Chains A and B, each alone.
Chain A
């Protein structure tokens, strides 16, 4: 099946969403959400394969959102936590709350981010 994989970007900064979209849009279907509620809604509706999740969002935080998503959905989905806020979060704690990767903002190089995301997606069958 060469269906295009879906990527959901949940971040409140438009330029971040825009740049991520620009990087992935050729090979993936991109969905964007500005806040937690919209994010959950889209997640349940579109069942993306990869979710970029910001930690500090208006309303719910990233971790809270993760909790609100069923395990079933998460099974077939990779979650990358992105955030400028490094307080208390690193790879380990990210994995503890159900994410697969943690990338700190600001991105040094957007293309590296793309690579890491693609590696993650390849792990999925």
Chain B
């Protein structure tokens, strides 16, 4: 404790504190110097001059702010108190009146407060220090965090970039794989190339199986393909153009396009699949103009190398697809252009594929529905022989008036249960209607020929005795008629009858010979009447059981036909009529001029049979259509009749009902009238 000035009369010393008294020195700094810098807890200024006291205290407060200040005056007034408090920030002001207790009390308080202040100050310092420490720690943590964050950001940016690159790459792959043509291929590539400065358009140079080399590029949204005129050396002995690099491709392109080209990068395309298909002469390269320096072009080169494999694969694929489409197109055209209908059918008759000729009705229907218009498999279809053999199956089917030979080739064999069964077949439908007809007709005519030969032989054999018979009878007739004794008897007339009988026999044989001769004859002018009459004798057996009525009225109206042929027709018709009737049927055979036109003659053959059933009426003129058992009827009679009749400008039709039987009407144009 420092007391500056005169001590008061009261006792101010105490054992609790050390009292230092300075009576005259008022210089705070000096005092402090003396105190060796130790700031007293308390300082009392008891100088006689109040202003000086205040001044001193002020000064002291600056130098030793932690000391508690007191002012002692002789007489305390309110203004002195105010001054002391305000100007010097004293704790209290003493005057003479104050007792020692007050001094002690206040000093004690001051000391306490001082120590309190000291503690506070210490704490403050400590806090400040701690705060500084925290702050620096904080700062270092912050910087660490920042660093880390930065690091993470950097990595993220890197990752993003990598991701972007990958995305781009994937997108490139996707776009490339979806290209359907080289134009698209180049467009996609171009898009990528645009990202680089100084990189030009891509040019595709390729060769397939022949010697021609093509250049393809895209300009203004259109693709332009041109033939490289000068011979282009892809070859690998000459190391050009089979490596990635700059090999002077620009010269060739410049020659071709007639404009200067910058340094052009050659990118060879490995088109293995195409090569294995087309031969090793199939080659392709890409050319890309590069106008920057080689150093600047490095990232671009990297870019291209990365994508080299995609470019290869896609080019290969496109070339193959092209070739595939071309062959496929050729194959389809061939398939469609085939003369015969061809279809690929499975075991259940589903039509899987067929050529143009096959389809009359489109739609996913079964073979017999589409092709034959039936509701169940055709009779004779080779598919019905569901055999497990791998060979060709054949069958013959009838559709309408046509006959088809079906060749069925199994094309895929599956294991079903333990057998190897064919599940898909290629069916070839060969229209053999004509050839079949021709064949059968030939057979028929051969048969007839053979028969004819036989008949011919028999006829000749018969002719001999008949000649003798007739001649001898003629002689006998003469002899007997010259013999008067025999004249009256019936001998002559009997002999005459015998002679007539032999004549008839000869006629029959003659007709038979003529009917079955296979020599083709010329058309003759002849009347239908005559034809009918020539034919009737041959039908004696068939007509035997029935009654028949003849009404022939066109003897003088001639038609121009081959008599044999029409004889056969008449024979067939009458035969059919007889077969249609049970015993004792009636047959009506007549010829007349047609009612509608006097220029036509009609032959009408009417039977009293049970008629032709309505359901088959449409089909009776079909070749090979017969209701008789196999081997009995050929089904050719009526179809032959129709053909023959129509050949001579005639027509054939019929009316039929169960009640009235059947009536066939054959008409021919009249060519001559004999008066």
Interface residues of A (CB under 8 A from B): 12-20, 22-23, 56, 84-85, 105-107, 109-111, 113
B463 and A19 within 8 A (CB): no
Most chain B CB neighbours (cut-off 10 Å) among A15, A17, A107? A15
Complex Cα gap A1–B297 (Å): 141
B463 and A84 within 8 A (CB): yes
Main secondary structure, interface of B, reads helix
A85 and B464 within 8 A (CB): no
B469 and A15 within 8 A (CB): yes
In whole Å, how far is A57's beta carbon from the nearest beta carbon of chain B? 11
B472 and A12 within 8 A (CB): no
Q: Which residues of B lie under 8 Å from residue A23 when comparing CB positions?
A: 471, 475
Complex Cα gap A109–B499 (Å): 10
The chain B residue sitting closest to A109, CB to CB, is B474
Partner of B463, one of A17, A20, A22, A106: A106
Partner of B475, one of A17, A19, A85: A19
Q: Could you name 7 residue pairs across A and B whose Cβ atoms are closer than 8 Å?
A: A12-B464, A13-B465, A18-B468, A19-B475, A105-B467, A107-B471, A110-B470
A22 and B475 within 8 A (CB): yes
B460 on interface, CB distance cutoff 8 Å: yes
Interface residues of B (CB under 8 A from A): 459-460, 463-472, 474-476, 478-479, 506
Q: Which residues of B lie under 8 Å from residue A105 when comparing CB positions?
A: 463-464, 467
Q: Which residues of B lie under 8 Å from residue A17 when comparing CB positions?
A: 468
Q: Which residues of B lie under 8 Å from residue A18 when comparing CB positions?
A: 468, 472
Known: A106-B467, A109-B474, A110-B474. 5 other contacts (CB 8 A): A14-B468, A16-B464, A19-B472, A84-B464, A113-B471
The chain B residue sitting closest to A12, CB to CB, is B464
Q: Do A106 and B466 form a contact, CB below 8 Å, given A56-B460, A84-B460, A85-B460?
A: yes
In whole Å, how far is B112's beta carbon from the nearest beta carbon of chain A? 174
Main secondary structure, interface of A, reads helix
Q: Which residues of A lie under 8 Å from residue B474 when comparing CB positions?
A: 19, 109-111
Complex Cα gap A12–B469 (Å): 14
Partner of B467, one of A15, A22, A111: A15
In whole Å, how far is B492's beta carbon from the nearest beta carbon of chain A? 16
Complex Cα gap A56–B465 (Å): 14
In whole Å, how far is B462's beta carbon from the nearest beta carbon of chain A? 9
Q: Which residues of B lie under 8 Å from residue A107 when comparing CB positions?
A: 467, 470-471
**CB-based closest 6 A-B pairs:** A15-B468, A19-B471, A84-B463, A19-B472, A110-B471, A106-B467
Q: Which residues of B lie under 8 Å from residue A14 when comparing CB positions?
A: 468
Q: Which residues of A lie under 8 Å from residue B465 when comparing CB positions?
A: 13, 15
In whole Å, how far is A114's beta carbon from the nearest beta carbon of chain B? 10
B460 and A16 within 8 A (CB): no
Complex Cα gap A27–B459 (Å): 33
In whole Å, how far is B504's beta carbon from the nearest beta carbon of chain A? 12
In whole Å, how far is A4's beta carbon from the nearest beta carbon of chain B? 19
The chain B residue sitting closest to A56, CB to CB, is B460
Q: Which residues of A lie under 8 Å from residue B463 when comparing CB positions?
A: 84, 105-106
In whole Å, how far is A111's beta carbon from the nearest beta carbon of chain B? 7
Complex Cα gap A13–B471 (Å): 12
The chain B residue sitting closest to A13, CB to CB, is B464
Q: Which residues of A lie under 8 Å from residue B464 when comparing CB positions?
A: 12-13, 16, 84, 105
Q: Which residues of A lie under 8 Å from residue B472 when comparing CB positions?
A: 15, 18-19, 22, 110
In whole Å, how far is A43's beta carbon from the nearest beta carbon of chain B? 21
Complex Cα gap A14–B469 (Å): 10
Q: Which residues of B lie under 8 Å from residue A15 when comparing CB positions?
A: 465, 467-469, 471-472
Complex Cα gap A84–B478 (Å): 24
Q: Which residues of A lie under 8 Å from residue B476 when comparing CB positions?
A: 22
Q: Which residues of A lie under 8 Å from residue B506 when comparing CB positions?
A: 106
Complex Cα gap A12–B460 (Å): 13
The chain A residue sitting closest to B464, CB to CB, is A13
Partner of A16, one of B459, B467, B478: B467
B471 and A20 within 8 A (CB): yes
In whole Å, how far is B79's beta carbon from the nearest beta carbon of chain A? 186
Complex Cα gap A19–B472 (Å): 4
A84 and B468 within 8 A (CB): no
Q: Do A111 and B468 form a contact, CB below 8 Å, given A56-B460, A84-B460, A84-B463?
A: no
In whole Å, how far is A76's beta carbon from the nearest beta carbon of chain B? 27
In whole Å, how far is B502's beta carbon from the nearest beta carbon of chain A? 8
In whole Å, how far is A40's beta carbon from the nearest beta carbon of chain B? 21
In whole Å, how far is A103's beta carbon from the nearest beta carbon of chain B? 10
Complex Cα gap A105–B502 (Å): 13
In whole Å, how far is A96's beta carbon from the nearest beta carbon of chain B? 22
Most chain B CB neighbours (cut-off 10 Å) among A13, A14, A113? A13
In whole Å, how far is B58's beta carbon from the nearest beta carbon of chain A? 177
In whole Å, how far is B290's beta carbon from the nearest beta carbon of chain A? 97
Complex Cα gap A101–B51 (Å): 201
Q: Do A19 and B478 form a contact, CB below 8 Å, given A84-B460, A85-B460, A106-B506?
A: no
In whole Å, how far is A120's beta carbon from the nearest beta carbon of chain B? 18
Q: Which residues of B lie under 8 Å from residue A13 when comparing CB positions?
A: 464-465, 467-468
Q: Which residues of B lie under 8 Å from residue A16 when comparing CB positions?
A: 464, 467-468, 471
Q: Do A106 and B475 form a contact, CB below 8 Å, given A13-B464, A16-B464, A56-B460?
A: no
The chain B residue sitting closest to A105, CB to CB, is B467
Q: Which residues of B lie under 8 Å from residue A85 when comparing CB positions?
A: 460
Complex Cα gap A84–B292 (Å): 112
B468 and A19 within 8 A (CB): yes
The chain B residue sitting closest to A15, CB to CB, is B468
The chain B residue sitting closest to A11, CB to CB, is B464
